[in-house]
Structure 1
């Protein structure tokens, strides 16, 4: 059944346009507060946000909803998403909320929800919330003497900084490294540079002057050119690019080359395998990760387990099958030894640990494999189910046969837009491009015919 509010990562949309309105945010607070109001103890929610202008509006609306449901609200202010997940457990909260649209522009915002264990909510619980949102919530309101209280919590930045620092091995220090970091004018603009400096690095920061409208604007992991330029300018040993809520990271080496999440997962997997701390016999990634990563891991006698696109599916597979490294090509890397969701700073610290221990430049440490040529194109659809058409099915079968063992084909509907994504990768770039173009043409002709 198609869901009305929740997407692949919480509720998201343009601020002040349905569903991202203060009215719905308040209703989310009441609905979620109702579902997690279990037992006789004082219930509590922790609420963090990134630096978007609309965060003030949604924060107040959520506080109103939760307190109306009888839940005490602990307001954290601007702080990374992984910090919210960590503090949900640390403060023994019943629910955690992050107000963020991650890497999207400032006009968008979103509501991410975490259970008391710090993990994102299951599809079943999200369905329960959706069902409540469409009902009369007046019967769910707390009695007058049971209305929740709200207060801002001090010291949360220090808690997260200490948590992140403890993930760096004790025998490793960042002394002698010049690190350029781009915080995307987002949630980590205070904590990430502070943590790196306290660990001994010489830190040069950009993207640390949020004004409510410049989050992810020509900066951060979705626009790393600014960081690449800064690395050259200050002759940094490494650049770290976070996104708006700091759950993603990309690295820039000393030459200014951008390194994606696939390479970073390979670096961390190699390091942990050598230390004997890698669990599951490999890593978990999505269907979008490059074939080059899979081949590299196989050469190291490690496996790559693939899931649907979305970090929640990666985490579910990790938990069910005993893996402790997983992530996405975009740089959303989950290290379950340290946290329950993607953490850009913690992942970067693991890469820095390898750099220091190996004593080699980042360009050598982080180039584990040569990516296989990968081509992705989208076909916009307005109606019908073109992937069920016989001509499309035959074209897909022919393409898979042509790639055989030398490549990989992935065709999937977008989870957020009326698009069909066509991706192919293989050793022969020309062949890959032809296959994608032919499939786009066939799917497009069926779309127009419909």
Structure 2
């Protein structure tokens, strides 16, 4: 390996903290991550040779505080890393410097890798102060692995996913550059909405949005997008990088706190939205003209809007037998599931929490729509479905194909999702308040219960049922029954800390709060009584 010892010496392991690769990749305090970045740079070159394609590395901690950072590896189709490689990442990240070279050579031998093969790696980073230093460590690793690094600098996470897919399809999906990304999305948006769409008010739709950029990478990228959109959409960007990343702003803050971000003059009649720190989540919100209160439209409302629009287009195109479904997790609001099944008449599939599960299940359908309640989601369309749509040539199918071009199918993308949502609202002449009135969310509450060992709690049925400790699910069922119809609760172990997450919903906020509190008390009692595994 090229200059291995020299590069290792400046990216050596400084402590003994164990860090795992999970759904969000690696994520921790930035000071803990330099050696991991170097090792993942090397691993990226090995993975690229195994799959014989370009792969990606994104340095970000998404909605986490500024002092955190992290890393995600991106596979050839722009998807998340093959789950079977997560344990390999974790192993390489946590062994000693002295063991590293032998471990790498063993992996090379096990995978049958020819290190003379080319290995191309696309690298992007968010705006955190630590990201530049950590990016250099990744590139050191790519150099040590004798690969070629293409450093895209500051990008959103979805842009790197997009560009990896583009380069691996030889440009069929799009041009593998940041400007190529803006051109593809803006051209589709303008084609659907008109070059001067911002001057046209359609019924109750006003073509103007206020974007909360979370003081992250999404803010400057939204401003760059404006140059490509021209007069097709009015866009004002706040929290544009002059403040602290994700501090009292951004999609996660709005979703969890259920209130508007800082530095916002909150007015009736305006449509607001928030990105998270790396611009892969989006949450809409507004001030209600009836009660003057904050109202939020999260991932569930977004999924319903998009799926209903796709169903309408497919029906108009007379190809309504396409397998269109929505994929949710247990955190999806019960009212959304009821509306999808009983009003939209579409199938709903529930999977465990985590985008990798949602994305995989969505890909099994002709068209799969998935959004976590936190606003992270997208639409996947199979190649055979696109071919079939192309065979039915009419005005509606041309509109449908252009609409598909507006979607970043690789991963949840706040910028792409914003353009998709604005297109649908304009086509319907709807205000955000009218969109919100599709159904009424059931009041809900999330609680975190700290425990000695989260592993004593295990779940099944897509995390909706508790398997252990024995008796916990029976206790939960008994509590839920006290609160009547439309009430439910579930628990699941945290993926990142020794805690158990409790989710509850009911017909009033008071009931939801009480239900969550009672379930949390039972979780604390039973989890603490079980010996550590």
TM-score (norm 2): 0.66
Match of 1:238 among 252, 271, 276: 271
Structure 1 unaligned blocks of 5 or more: 95-115, 119-153
Shift of 1:251: 1.1
Using the TM superposition, give the Cα deviation of residue 270 of structure 1 relative to its aligned residue in structure 2, in angstroms. Answer: 1.4
2:456 corresponds in structure 1 to 385
Q: State the aligned residue count.
A: 386
Corresponding residue for residue 181 of structure 2: 160
CA deviation after TM superposition for structure 1 residue 197, in Å: 5.3
Q: CA deviation at 1:246?
A: 0.4
Residue in 1 that maps onto 2:499: 419
2:297 is equivalent to residue 259 of structure 1: yes
Instruction: After TM superposition, give the deviation of residue 6 of structure 1 in Å.
Output: 0.5
Q: Deviation of residue 163 (structure 1)?
A: 2.7
Query: Aligned-pair distance for 1:431?
Result: 4.5
Q: Shift of the alpha carbon at 1:292? A: 0.7
Q: Which residue of 1 aligns with 2:426?
A: 356
Determine the structure 1 residue equivalent to 2:156.
80
CA deviations 1:182-219 (Å, max 9, x no partner) are: 211212222223324543222221122257xx221222
Is the CA contact 1:264–1:366 (under 8 Å) kept in the aligned structure 2?
A: no
**1:430, distance to aligned residue in structure 2 (A):** 4.7
- The answer on 1:58 being equivalent to 2:90 is no
Question: CA-to-partner distance for each residue in 1:103-158, whole Å, 9 max, x for gaps?
Answer: xxxxxxxxxxxxx999xxxxxxxxxxxxxxxxxxxxxxxxxxxxxxxxxxx99432
Separation (CA, whole Å) in 1 of partners of 2:141 and 2:169:
16
For residues 342 and 354 of structure 1, do their structure 2 counterparts lie closer, same or farther at Cα, with a shift above 3 Å needed? same
Alignment of 1:144-155 (within 5 A): none
Identify if the C-alpha distance between structure 1 residues 332 and 437 changes in structure 2 by more than 3 Å, giving closer, same or farther: same
**Secondary structure at 2:488's aligned position in 1?**
strand
Aligned ranges for residues 138-287 of structure 1 at < 5 Å?
Answer: 156-168=177-189, 170-173=191-194, 174-176=197-199, 177-196=207-226, 198-199=228-229, 200=231, 201-209=233-241, 214-224=244-254, 225=259, 230=264, 232=266, 237-253=270-286, 255=288, 257-276=295-314, 280-287=323-330
Distance 1:427 1:192 in 2: 38
Distance in 1 (CA, whole Å) between partners of 2:529 and 2:192 is: 64
Helix, strand or coil for the counterpart of 1:334? strand
Query: Hey, what does 1:67 align to over in structure 2?
Result: 143
CA distance in 1, matches of 2:234, 2:512: 44
Distance in 1, Cα, partners of 2:333 & 2:340:
11
In the TM superposition, residue 408 of structure 1 has moved relative to its aligned partner by: 2.6
Quick check: 1:37–1:71 contact (8 Å CA) kept in 2? no
Return closer, same or farther for 1:301/1:71 CA change in 2, 3 Å cut-off: same
Aligned-partner Cα distance in 2 for 1:389–1:88: 43
Give 1:294 deviation, angstroms: 0.5
d(CA) in 2 for partners of 1:236, 1:71: 52
Structure 1 residues 183, 367: closer, same or farther in 2, change over 3 A? same
Matches of 1:393 and 1:209, distance apart in 2? 46
Secondary structure, in 3 states, of the residue corresponding to 1:85?
helix
Using the TM superposition, give the Cα deviation of residue 307 of structure 1 relative to its aligned residue in structure 2, in angstroms: 1.2
Which whole-Å CA distance do the structure 1 matches of 2:469 and 2:192 have between them?
A: 59
Q: Comparing both chains, which one has the higher relative contact order based on Cα–Cα distances under 8 Å and sequence gaps of 6 or more?
A: 1
Distance across 1 between alignment mates of 2:218 and 2:519: 42
Q: Is the 8 A contact 1:63 1:73 kept in 2?
A: yes
| Aligned counterparts of 2:518 and 2:487: Cα–Cα separation in 1 | 16
Map 1:257-336; keep pairs closer than 5 Å. Answer: 257-276=295-314, 280-298=323-341, 299-336=343-380
Return the offset for 1:445.
2.2
Aligned with residue 524 of structure 2, among 441, 444, 447: 444
**Shift in Å, 1:228:** 8.1
Residue pair 1:231, 1:237 contacting (<8 A) in 2 also: no
Contact 1:379 1:443 (C-alpha < 8 Å) held by counterparts: yes
**Any conservation in 2 of the 1:181–1:193 contact (CA below 8 Å)?**
no
Consecutive unaligned residues of structure 2, counting only runs of 5 or more, are 1-17, 53-115, 200-206, 289-293, 381-403, 458-465
Q: Is 1:5 aligned with 2:36? A: no
Match of 1:204, SS state, is strand
Distance in 2 between residues matched to 1:343 and 1:404, nearest whole Å: 38
- Answer yes or no: is the 8 Å Cα contact 1:44–1:93 preserved in 2: no
